[in-house]
Amino acid sequence: MTSRGRFAALSLSLLFVFMQVACATREQPATPPPASQPAFPATLTAPDGKQVAIERQPSRIVSLSPTATEVLFAIGAGKQVAAVDDQSNFPPEAPKTALSGFKPNVEAITRHNPDLVVVAGDLNDVVGGLTAVKIPVLLLPTAKNLDEAYAQWTLLGRATGQVSKADDVVRQARDEIKKIVDGTPRKPLKYYHELGPDLFTATSSTFIGRVYGLFGLQNVADPADTPAAGGYPQLGQQALFQANPDLIFLSDTKCCAQSADTVRARPQWQTLSAVQNNRVIALDDDIASRWGPRVVDLVRQVSEAVKG
């Protein structure tokens, strides 16, 4: 081969290599991500350990639990809610009806054509009655602590197809509560939580008691608790006066129209430290008795009371 031929062959060879490199380095189409698992049908494990099968994303939810109603709207499932019970007063746009969570009636519930029902208790065998007519029912009883509350919010997210939003709500609440608690100095304060002017109260073993426990507060009702009371004993006035709480929290401001003024007007209550130091705190009854996302507001109010 002549030198000219060898040069031509070499040039063609280099051109071929260049083209190969160019093709190899050219941006290739991205490999499509694997398809995510469909959210439905879904089989969920309720807090009582029972399995609840939901065939498709619910579009007509009936909530017989004020807490569940708040959570459903907070996680973006509000448009999927068809009816709520007569105690579900938040948010205002919730479709409130005459349905009762205390005396649930399966026939009345089914008139709303639900594809998911959420209850706080299995009263009147509502779970069995709804299951018998093939309506999924999720039983979410009173949470014992914040972790149980968060778990219920997450479960409602899965049950409604609002997983991401539910996770966000849990994360935001957890972070905000930690920030509030960390920013509150711990003080050895005694407190009394009033459920009613008849001196029914809640101990440290209850959900609200554990909220106070975040701040290291001492509950004056703990010695009065019994198995029969189940965390909600009735105090005698003498026992309360002997304990002499530093803080009094009123969760009967709506039901019983109680306030710092009405407490101060009670016979001999002016002798209590909390009354003398103007540390009687009026709570929102609903927020103080539920375990939904507004618990952050409750934690913030307790923090402000502790700071004094």
Phi-psi map region of 231: left, alpha, beta (phi>0 left; psi -120 to 50 alpha): left
| Region for 161 from its dihedrals, namely left if φ exceeds 0, alpha if ψ lies in -120 to 50, beta otherwise | left
Per-residue model confidence (pLDDT) at position 32: 42
Q: How far apart are CA 294 and CA 290, in angstroms?
A: 8
So what CATH class is 183-307? alpha beta
Cite the residue boundaries of each domain of the chain with CATH code 3.40.50.1980.
42-176, 183-307
pLDDT by residue for the chain (308 residues), tens digit each?
Answer: 444 343 333 333 333 333 333 333 333 344 443 444 568 999 999 999 999 999 999 999 999 999 999 999 999 999 999 999 999 999 999 999 999 999 999 999 999 999 999 999 999 999 999 999 999 999 999 999 999 999 999 999 999 999 999 999 999 999 999 999 999 999 999 999 999 999 999 999 999 999 999 999 999 999 999 999 999 999 999 999 999 999 999 999 999 999 999 999 999 999 999 999 999 999 999 999 999 999 999 999 999 999 99
Our CA angle for 71, 162, 38, nearest 5°, is 150
Q: For every residue of 78-101, which 3-state class applies, written as one string?
A: HHHEEEECCCCCCCCCCCECCCCC
pLDDT for the residue 22:
36
d(CA 258, CA 93): 27
pLDDT at position 31 is: 41
CATH class of the domain defined by 42-176: alpha beta
Cα–Cα distances (Å) from 78 to 60, 111, 141, 151, in that order, read 10, 19, 21, 19
CA separation for the pair 133, 2 (Å, rounded): 93
Question: What is residue 39's predicted lDDT score, i.e. its pLDDT?
Answer: 84
